[in-house]
Amino acid sequence: MDSIKNRRSIRKYKQDEIPASLLNDLLEEAFRASTMGNMQLYSVVVTRDKQMKEKLAPAHFNQPMVTGAPVVLTFCADFNRFSKWCRARKAEPGYDNPISFLNAATDALLVTQNFCTLAEEHGLGICYLGTTIYNPDQIVEILQLPELVMPVATITVGYPDECPSQVDRLPVQGLLHDEVYHDYSVEDIDRIYAYKESLPENHRFIEENQKETLAQVFTDVRYKKADNEYMSGILKATLKKQGFEK
Amino acid sequence: MDSIKNRRSIRKYKQDEIPASLLNDLLEEAFRASTMGNMQLYSVVVTRDKQMKEKLAPAHFNQPMVTGAPVVLTFCADFNRFSKWCRARKAEPGYDNPISFLNAATDALLVTQNFCTLAEEHGLGICYLGTTIYNPDQIVEILQLPELVMPVATITVGYPDECPSQVDRLPVQGLLHDEVYHDYSVEDIDRIYAYKESLPENHRFIEENQKETLAQVFTDVRYKKADNEYMSGILKATLKKQGFEK
């Protein structure tokens, strides 16, 4: 499938709106993804309103795609709807626990990827915002998510107004393991990361950040231990607040 | 995309093998999915060996697809490879925490869905096994997964030897929320679940399980509170053992 093979994240969008019927159709098709026991443990909040985008932007560290895209979609793990159905049908739900969160998050993420594939196949561009799980507390408040609903993915969507070059990927054999996991030797690591480390853009990246190695840009600048620990605290507190920690 | 629109999970497979080159190509293409900071925080363990399938089967509650499919794929959240790269490059990784697990699990699940789409587009059938996160401790042992590697999804793959009817989905409008989450009234729930509850197969399902409502089949038989709490304990213990709880 060329739309998957040639894909790139799109961060600049034309001002053209996405017709509501198209968005609806793409989401409906995306909902054909596999789902735990056919429970469909997800909801999608659709943001088109300018003021709502401005409210959401800080939760996504003000990445310009949030206010620049015609549509922002927040995919949520949702055991609220299912639990409400149970209670309305003389059944007592027991989904206020970590495994249920992970079940619902899985459902939501499969649907998210399905939506991205379908959107790109229809000529739309998307950008996946990893920031959703860094500031879930803010997103819960802005989108008024009730108990047993937790945001897990945000996608900005629109007609592409750029065509960036495709980014690198590690060689496929470095990610596959036959029968059991074969742990990596230093030589394996050297081989797997050689191409990535050879790229001029990554040399520039090291220089710009005044680091010695590309890995240091990740550990010291982009994804720091202290930040990860701080955000882990927010994640745990939000899961508890949303009722998934019983 | 008809292959997504018309998809159904396949649980019976022909004995034909999947050529290694095809599997490789599909996985390589799947790895074009969005990934956090282009870190590609996943590994895939490929099971073709009969004995390995027999070892894995109990972890998946002996669902017959595990031994019946030519290929079983276990998608893992993997911060081991990336951390090893950091250490080999004078960088100190800080990814032994819950947010890093969720980042890696997200990466792995996006790739899982991408693979499923591509496999189905090529005429293969897949079944998603939700059991992976119920017995992660067993899978970790069988597949020899080191620290910072956690199984999150298992897919059985093969050429279809059945064409089951397509299962129902909730009406799309019941899963979408404009601008903010609009919580469900009892009337909303009635409307959203009406079609599912009207289906003859679901009436049979209630009878077979000697329950009063379909929801009770879920809460009292299929996804019980006590089971969820027990499996939440295993999940937490395995995440700790795999080093994601610091």
Residue A149 in contact with partner chain B when CB distance is under 8 A: yes
- Ranges of each domain in chain A: 2-164
**A126-161, pLDDT tens digit by residue?**
999 999 999 999 999 999 999 999 999 999 999 999
- Interface check A218 vs B, CB under 8 A: yes
CA distance B47 to B73: 6
Q: Which pLDDT band, with edges at 50, 70 and 90, does B246 fall under?
A: confident
Can you list the pairs that A188-197 forms with residues at least 24 positions away whose Cβ atoms lie under 8 Å? A189/B81, A189/B84, A189/B85, A189/B88, A190/B88, A192/B81, A192/B85, A193/B85, A195/A168, A195/A170, A195/A171, A196/A168, A196/A170
Helix (H) or strand (E) holding A35: none
- Angstrom distance (rounded) from CA A18 to CA A26: 11
B chain contacts of residue A32, beta-carbon cutoff 8 Å: 4-5, 7, 169
Q: Is B181 within 8 Å of A214 when comparing Cβ atoms?
A: no
Asked if residues A19 and B152 have their Cβ atoms less than 8 Å apart, the reply is no
What the block records as the tokens of A82 is 């299912």
- Kindly tell me if the per-residue pLDDT of A1 is higher than 80: no
Q: Percent helix, strand and coil across chain A, each rounded to 5?
A: 50, 15, 35
Could you tell me which CATH class the domain A2-164 is placed in?
A: alpha beta
Question: Taking CA atoms, what residue in A is nearest to B105?
Answer: A106
- pLDDT 10s digits, A192-238: 999 999 999 999 999 999 999 999 999 999 999 999 999 999 999 99
3-state SS class at B124:
coil
Contact between B218 and A153 using a beta-carbon 8 Å cutoff: no
3-class DSSP state for residue A26? helix
CA distance linking residue B173 with residue A27, whole number of Å: 10
Reported for A82-85, long-range contacts at CB under 8 A and 24+ positions apart, including other chains, are A82/A39, A82/A40, A82/A41, A82/B218, A83/A148, A84/B184, A84/B186, A84/B189, A85/B189, A85/B192, A85/B193, A85/B215
Q: Identify the three-state secondary structure at position B153.
A: strand
A178 Cβ neighbours under 8 A, 6+ residues apart: B45, B46, B48
pLDDT in tens, B8-64: 999 999 999 999 999 999 999 999 999 999 999 999 999 999 999 999 999 999 999
Average pLDDT over chain A, rounded to an integer: 97
Look at residue B2 in the predicted model and tell me its pLDDT: 86
Put the strands of the sheet holding B125-129 in their side by side order: A176-178, B42-47, B71-78, B149-158, B125-129
Interface check A206 vs B, CB under 8 A: no
**Rg (alpha carbons) of chain B, rounded to whole number:** 20
Q: Return the structure tokens found at B20.
A: 């290694």
Of A5, A177, A190, the CB nearest to B29: A5
Tens digit of each residue's pLDDT (9 = 90 or more) over B99-152: 999 999 999 999 999 999 999 999 999 999 999 999 999 999 999 999 999 999
pLDDT digits (tens, 9 = 90+) for A225-242: 999 999 999 999 999 999
Across all residues in chain B, what is the average pLDDT? Answer: 97
- Is the dihedral angle over the CA atoms B23, A194, A2, B31 positive or is it negative? positive
CATH placement of domain B2-163 = 3.40.109.10
Answer whether B2 touches A (CB < 8 Å).
no
ipTM of predicted complex: 0.98
**Helix B225-241 to helix A98-121 angle, to the nearest 10 degrees?**
80
Under the banding of pLDDT at 50, 70 and 90, the label for residue B90 is very high
DSSP character string of A181-228: --PPPHHHHHHHHHHHHH-HHHHHHHHHTT-SSHHHIIIIIIS-HHHH
Q: Has residue A69 got a pLDDT over 90?
A: yes
Cβ-contact A139, A145 below 8 angstroms: yes
C-beta of residue B146 within 8 angstroms of C-beta of residue B140: no
List C-alpha distances in Å: A241 to A92, B80, B106, B178, B219.
21, 31, 21, 23, 23
Give me A83's structure tokens: 């639990």
Q: Which of A142, A16, A143, A10 is nearest to A64 (CA)?
A: A10
What tens digit of pLDDT does each residue of B171-221 get?
999 999 999 999 999 999 999 999 999 999 999 999 999 999 999 999 999
The two tokens of residue A122 are: 């229809």
* DSSP calls for B169-203: ---GGGGEEESS--PPPHHHHHHHHHHHHH-HHHH
**Placement of tokens 């220089």 in the chain:** A207
Question: Residue A215: which of B79, B217, B71 has the closest Cα?
Answer: B79
Q: Does A187 touch chain B (CB under 8 A)?
A: no
Q: Residue A49 has which token pair?
A: 């309103």
Cβ atoms of B174 and B84 within 8 Å: the answer is no
